[in-house]
Amino acid sequence: MPAALAIDADQKQQIADFMARFTLEVTPSGAAKIPDLRAHLRPGCTVYITALHGSDFDDTVKVARRLKSEGFNPVPHIAARSIPSIAAFGEQLRRVTQEAGVTQVLMIGGAVAQPVGDVTDTMQLLDSGLLDRHGIRKIGVAGHPEGSPDIPDKAIAAALRWKNAFASRTDAELYIVTQFCFEAEPIVKWDRAIQADGNRLPIHIGIPGLATVKTLLAHAKACGIGQSMRFLSRQAMNVGKLLTVSAPDQLVRALADYQANDARCGIVNAHVYPLGGLAKSAAWSYAVADGEFDVDPGGRGFAVRPRG
């Protein structure tokens, strides 16, 4: 291992603290490829279950049940525009709570051009009273530091104001989970902008896991995250880098500094998107959270020392 560039103990602790309570997510198909998630994740880890358009909710329930049995905290995505009715939403909640012991969910609109039924947005679901009725009071809602290809910016801002008002008039514990980004600057700018508009919901910021630049480009394109697309495109100008595994070292270091040194920071946690590489992404995340890393000689990336 090359000699590490000096980093003071406070800075290293800031980085470890930023990743200390990280969460991550898994798709039903991705989970099916891993015989035992306990080989990669520690007890009590919060694991979100991705809702892909056209997927069978039975698969979500199955994965949630498995995660619970293996000692994790399962958090299903509930995709509003893929739910045909409020009654169907209630049935989904009944199943995940009664069959899998779920106590926390992430409410998203879902990347669907046309709703499959009467439900058009998450506000309808939040306002239904069904989450409270089924004992779910910890609720994630979507955040968009780089906008959304499906929702105009004004509509995103109005929805966030509504969710803040909902949180203030109920005992629900709402928080924001964002799409993943690759640079800290647009995240900080967005955080300050939504605070100026009245946001008081804590932010769980999306962090890309370890993946090739080619894979990251594909996911960024699918999510429609423009600034990140431009960032990745610059990386991919050298075709030889397309198959290079990228880690979010610089992003995490910058956001850890922002969290530790700016009292206005609304970020409270890191949410890791494994992007198909759960084992590697989890090992990296735990190593950083444990402080088992050095800063490389260029002062930009981490040299992690994952524990066996």
Torsion angle, alpha carbons of 86, 88, 90, 91, to 10: 170
Question: 6 falls in which pLDDT band (50, 70, 90)?
Answer: low
Query: Average pLDDT of 1-5?
Result: 41
What's the pLDDT score for residue 227?
Answer: 55
pLDDT in tens, 123-181: 999 999 999 999 999 999 999 998 877 788 999 999 999 999 999 999 999 999 999 88
Q: Which amino acid is at 149?
A: P
220, pLDDT greater than 70: no
Q: Whole-model pTM above 0.85?
A: yes
What's the pLDDT score for residue 94?
Answer: 98
Query: Average pLDDT of 247-260?
Result: 92
Tell me the pLDDT of the chain averaged across its residues: 87
What's the pLDDT score for residue 299?
Answer: 55
Query: Average pLDDT of 23-41?
Result: 95
What's the pLDDT score for residue 1?
Answer: 35
C-alpha to C-alpha distance for 131 and 73, rounded to whole angstroms? 17
CB atoms within 10 A of CB 279: 15
The gap from C-alpha 148 to its chain's centroid, in whole angstroms, comes to: 15
Q: H/E/C letters for each residue in 204-215?
A: EEEEECCEEHHH
Four-way CATH pick for 9-210+247-290: 3.30.70.1150, 3.40.920.10, 3.20.20.220, 3.90.25.10: 3.20.20.220
C-alpha to C-alpha distance for 210 and 277, rounded to whole angstroms? 7
pLDDT in tens, 71-118: 999 999 999 999 999 999 999 999 999 999 999 999 999 877 788 999
What's the pLDDT score for residue 211?
Answer: 78
Question: 292 falls in which pLDDT band (50, 70, 90)?
Answer: very high
In our burial notation (b when 16+ CB lie closer than 10 A, e otherwise), range 222-244 reads: ebbbebbbebbeeebeeeeeeee
228, pLDDT greater than 60: no
